[in-house]
Homo-oligomer: A and B are copies of this chain.
C-alpha cells in the first residue's frame, strides 16, 4: 500500500463485495483506518483492551451492547453517525445493509478477544485485509 497517495472511500467501497470483511484504507501510527460493508447479524464479541470507533458511511448499522449486569441496549446508527464502543463492552453489530469506517489498533480482530457461539459464515474473523 502506497501511503503517500490518497484513497477515496467511494472507490474503495466499490472495489469489493464481501460483508463484514474490513479493508485497511490507511495506517497512522499503530492504528488502522478500515472500511467494511455490513449486512446481517455479526457475533457477540468483546475487545478487552481497546475502544472501537465507528462512522456510518452508508445505510444503517446497529450495535447491541451488554452492560456489566447483562442488560442489553442497542444504538441505531445512520449515515454520518459516529459512535465509540468502550473497551471491555460486549457488543454485536447488525445491519440491514450499509458501510462503515472504523479506527482501531492494527491487529485488532473483527471477532474480538472473545466471542459467543459460532462465527457465522458471512462474518470474516480477521485483522483486516489490504485494499
Contact = CB atoms under 8 A, between A and B. Distances in A.
Interface of A: 3, 5-11, 25-29, 31, 33, 50-53, 55, 75, 77-78, 80-84, 86-87, 101, 103-105
B31 A82 contact: no
Interface class of chain A by DSSP: strand
> Nearest 7 A-B pairs (CB), nearest first?
A28-B51, A28-B53, A6-B81, A9-B80, A6-B83, A10-B80, A28-B84
How many protomers of this protein does the assembly include?
2
Contact of A103 (B5, B9, B31, B87): B31
Contacts of A51: 27-29
Contact of A26 (B11, B26, B53): B53
